[in-house]
Chain A
Amino acid sequence: MKITEIDYTTTPETITERDATPEEMAQWKADKAAEIARQNELEAKASAKAALLDRLGITAEEAALLLG
C-alpha cells in the first residue's frame, strides 16, 4: 500500500511517496478484519430479525408498531 505525504511547511510543498510501514499495514489489516466481522454481524442480525418476523408472522412495520 502506497502512502503519499505532502508537507506544506516548505515552499514549494514537498511530496513524498512511500510504502506503508509494517505498523500501518498491520492496522489496515486489523481494520479490514474488523469491518468484515462488523458486516457479518450485521448480516447475522438481519437474518435473525427476518427469521423472527417470519416465525411471528408479522412484517417489520408491524413489529415497529408493537415496539413503538
Chain B
Amino acid sequence: MATTTTNFGWDIPQSTDLVKDGATAIAALGQDIDTALVGLKGGTTGQILSKTSGTDLAYTWITNDVGDITAVTAGTGISGGGTSGAVTITNSMATAITTSGDTLYGTGSGTFSRLGIGSTGQVLTVAAGIPSWATPSSTTPGLNLISPSSIAFSGTSASTSAGKTVFSACTSLSLNGVFSSTYDNYLIIVAPFTQSTDVMNFMRLRASGSDTTSGYNNAGWYQSAGSAWNTNPDVTDAYYHQQPGTSQGSSVINLQNPNLSFATLMNNQRAKVGQGSGNVSSQSGTTQFDGLTIYQASGNFTGTIRVYGIKN
C-alpha cells in the first residue's frame, strides 16, 4: 500500500510492498516530482525565480529589474545613504533650520549657515560680508517728519496722524515732543493756513508743557502787491508767525537750536494771496525746548502743521 512524502505528499511505496510493485511506485513518484517542479523549466541566463502565489512550488522565472539601486551616497547638502536595505537620506538645510523665522545663507562653495530671526523692526543687512539682522537707524540723513508725542488745543478740533497735525477753528495749538537732541535744526511748514480774523498769529516755544513768554525779538516786514514795504513792530513775548486773515496763506519756518543750550533762531517766510512777508526772529534763552504753541488773541485759525527734523 503506497503512502506519501512528508512535505509535498508525493506517492512513495511502503517497505512492505511487493517488489513487483516497486517500478510502478517509482514511476508514480517520478511523475509527481516532474509535475511539481515544472516551474523550474525554461528561463534564460540571468533570470531568477519569483513566487507567483502563496501556493507551494508556485514560482516562475523572471528577469531581474534592470538598474536596481545598489547604493545611495549622500552628496552635498544631504546626509545619510547606504548600500543595503532601506536607506534614509536627509536634507541638511532642512535640519539646519531649528526655529521659526530661520534663514540660511551660503558661507562658501557648498556650505551654509543658519541665521536666526531678528527682532521686531530689524532689517536684513550685510556686515563683514555676511547677512545679519540689524536695527535700522532711527533717523536717516535729510528731512525726517516728526510726530508729536501729544498735542493740546483750544478750539473746535485738532488731531495728529502720521506726523501731520490738522486743526480747525483753534485759538491755540501746542505740539509737544517735537524737538529733541536727535536734531539741532528743524523745518516747520504750516500750510494751508487761514484765519477767521485779520490779526497776527504768533508762535511760542515751550518746554515740559509750558510756554515761554519772554526773550523774543522780531524783525518783520511785509509787502502787498504794488505797495511799499512795511515793517512789523517788534514784540518780545512771542515769535511772529503769520497773518493771512481770511485769505489763504502759509509759512515755512527754519528753526535753529530749539533743543540746544543756545539761542533759538527763526527764519520765517510767510505768504498769502497778494502779499509776501517774513521775519527773522530770536529767542535769547538757553532753555532746551521740546515743543511749540501757535496762538492768536482773537478769532481763530485753521490749517495743517508739519515739523521735520533736519539730519546730517
Contact = CB atoms under 8 A, between A and B. Distances in A.
A41 to B, nearest CB: 7
Nearest to B197: A35
Nearest to A9: B149
Interface stretch (B54-62, B107-115, B152-160): B152-160
Contacts, number: 58
Interface residues of B, number: 27
A20 B202 CA distance: 19
Contacts of A41: 233
Quick one: which of A3, A8, A9, A20 has the most chain B CB within 10 A?
A8
B211 A8 contact: no
Given A8-B149, A39-B199, A64 B154 contact: no
A58 B199 CA distance: 29
Contacts of A64: 227-228
A4 B153 contact: yes
Interface string A48-68: 000000000000000010011
Interface string B89-116: 0000000000000000000000000000
B148 interface: yes
Contacts of A68: 228
Contacts of B228: 64, 67-68
Chain A to chain B: the 3 pairs with minimum beta-carbon distance, closest first: A35-B297, A32-B297, A64-B228
Interface of A: 1-9, 20, 27-28, 31-32, 34-36, 38-39, 41, 64, 67-68
